Structure 1
């Protein structure tokens, strides 16, 4: 019901706001997926990848931003609702048990197959 009339609403995810629990965050347009599903090798970087600088327990949260459109049942015309709706997921705790630092002689642009690239 919208303004007393039967109506429908459609929610489409348009952005994903990742909070990694270490004071950093990233906004992406992809929700993330497994490396296999993305056609990548394990540990290849993705839009949602994150490297922690220190061992510890971190609480990761995701806020999904949705665009919304609505239609009254009487005419079925869809119209956009201004703005977005932000919905937070349940937090997840990750344990970082190892952090490795290596010395390299080239950056990832010069040697894309180097450690950490």
Structure 2
């Protein structure tokens, strides 16, 4: 952008991400996370303690720098916090069983319903 005839360039960098899992639990990370490959553990995870509907959101915190007319990068005081849209999810299972039964043979067995 141009400010008083000077070219001003602004650079923003994400520095942390705060995850709100919708059940009074949260987590702050320095990575945004990404879709895991099959068999991999996710970078960001959460274990719910009960089933039900929850709204999940994330707030990214950015730091900034600016340069005037190609000069040195100077820090911008403070941070910008940008909230995501909430995503509504239904937690329908929050535990796992290790079973030695086949759910086809016993559809009422643990973790089969």
TM-score under structure 1 length normalisation: 0.71
How many positions carry a matched residue from both structures? 97
User: In 2 relative to 1, CA 76–88 (structure 1 residues): closer, same or farther, beyond 3 Å?
Assistant: same
Cα separation, 1, equivalents of 2:3 and 2:23: 44
Q: Which residue of 1 aligns with 2:55?
A: 59
Cα separation, 1, equivalents of 2:70 and 2:94: 58
Q: Is the 8 A contact 1:19 1:62 kept in 2?
A: yes
Give ranges in structure 2 of 5+ residues lacking alignment: 99-113
Q: Quick check: 1:76 aligned with 2:71?
A: yes
Note the C-alpha offset of 1:75: 3.9
Q: CA RMSD in A?
A: 2.2
Cα separation, 2, equivalents of 1:25 and 1:90: 16
Give ranges in structure 1 of 5+ residues lacking alignment: 104-117
Q: Which residue of 2 aligns with 1:113?
A: none
Q: Is the 8 A contact 2:36 2:43 kept in 1?
A: no
Q: Which residue of 1 aligns with 2:16?
A: 15
TM-score under structure 2 length normalisation: 0.74
